Amino acid sequence: MIEDYYKAEISFLNSEISRLNRQIEADRQSRLPDKMNPFDNPTEYPEFSGDYSDIMPELDAPDCTIPLEPELTERRKIKRFYSVGGWCILGQFFISNLLSYAILYILRMVISSINTGADMRTISIYMESSSIFASINMLAFIISNVGFAFMGMKMAHIPKSQLVRTRNFSFRKAIQYCFIAFFLWELSAIVASGINDIFVKYGYTTDVMDLDGIAVTGTGWAIMTIYTCIIAPLTEEIFFRGMLLRVFSRTNQRFAVFATAFFFGLSHHNIPQFTLAFIMGIFLAHITLKHNSIIPAVIVHAFVNTSSTFMTYIEESAGYIFTAVLILVMALVGFFLLCVFNENNKLPATTPAQSRRGMTVAKSSIMFIISVFVQLIYTIALIFM
């Protein structure tokens, strides 16, 4: 009996020790900061930014708090992400252009050697008007967009599966987002037109794209259409919202939204498309954050490009009045849906600690600053030279 009594006591004590250990562990866990939302920002989408303990390992310790100003080690790790983004932006810019020029130059030499009687000007016109020019540009942008997107994700340790791991997305939301994008497209056209009027007043033009004589053959038009409506939306979203937005979102999602929209606009190298891409880029980044995937942005991007491509043909077949009414109705519906969307989906705000880890750190990254200046200088040169 006495032996049974001691056994019962020992069992009870073991049970109490286990209970106390569980309570201690629970108390410890309750004091640990949220590694997915270390800045305690209720307006952000924590799953998108990822685990912050790979930047600040101290988050694994109880009662750890993030200082207002990042310390040297944390600042260096944050700057590395901005540098990765800057490297990829520069790489995408130079490779897309150099690869196109290199392939075009080689083909000119090959065609010239085959047709010895043709001059270079004639060969260039032939290549631009046929499917050759369109195909080379499509190939160059596919390689540069996708290649540097995956390179950046590897450097930043971002799994490729995160590109398409979509959350809370539906067909109804896809329709809603497409109407919103249509309104934003029309709004940007009005803004761009006003900016162009100012430039024209001083003897300049914002439209530096001369597409006359480009891909006028049936095959060339088909390749340009496929690229504009399918390939470009997919590859650009992989680069800008798939890689760049995640890289820049590690500490400050609001900064990442505007930074990627800015670079997305600059990548088009003219003011009308910059205006559209910047305004649209903010919305595309927002829905990417919200759904944790590029799928919604790809659908919306493809819809906008397709609408832009075929609106002229709709006007030619259905008439100006019908097209104008159609555009007005769709834009009004889009404006209403945008108001509804903004009621429940605000852009992420920024805490004081995050503001010290956004532009403040980004501008200390040499590669980030160089990527801004290179794109700006190239765009300005196209406009004023």
Model confidence pLDDT, tens digit, residues 133-163: 888 989 999 999 999 999 999 999 999 988 9
Categorize the per-residue pLDDT at 380 as very low, low, confident or very high, splitting at 50, 70 and 90. Answer: confident
Reduce the DSSP state of residue 204 to 3 states and report it. coil
Distances (CA, A) of 378 to 72, 266, 279: 34, 9, 21
Helix (H) or strand (E) holding 178: helix 171-201
More confidently predicted of 333 and 131: 333
Instruction: Give the pLDDT score at 212.
Output: 65
Query: Which residue has tokens 């995160």?
Result: 162
Write the pLDDT tens digit of every residue in 294-317: 999 999 999 999 998 888 778 778
Do residues 181 and 334 touch, judged by C-beta distance below 8 A?
A: yes
Write the pLDDT tens digit of every residue in 90-126: 999 999 989 988 988 888 888 888 887 777 888 888 7
Instruction: Give the pLDDT score at 114.
Output: 84
Q: What pTM was computed for the model?
A: 0.88
> What's the rounded Cα separation, in Å, for the pair 48 and 172?
23
**Residue 21 falls within a domain, yes or no?**
no
Domain that holds residue 160: 79-351+358-384
> What's the rounded Cα separation, in Å, for the pair 166 and 287?
11
Alpha-helical regions (H) of 202-294: 218-226, 232-237, 245-248, 253-266, 271-291
Instruction: Give the pLDDT score at 6.
Output: 54
**Residue 313 falls within a domain, yes or no?**
yes
**Residue 47 falls within a domain, yes or no?**
no
Instruction: Give the pLDDT score at 139.
Output: 92
Most confident range, picked from 190-194, 210-214, 283-287: 283-287
**Residue 8 falls within a domain, yes or no?**
no
> What's the rounded Cα separation, in Å, for the pair 140 and 282?
26
Instruction: Give the pLDDT score at 207.
Output: 67
**Residue 347 falls within a domain, yes or no?**
yes
Q: Which residues contact 197 (CB under 8 A, 6 or more apart)?
A: none
**Residue 369 falls within a domain, yes or no?**
yes
**Residue 35 falls within a domain, yes or no?**
no
| Number of separate domains in the chain | 1
**Residue 13 falls within a domain, yes or no?**
no
Do residues 281 and 264 touch, judged by C-beta distance below 8 A?
A: yes
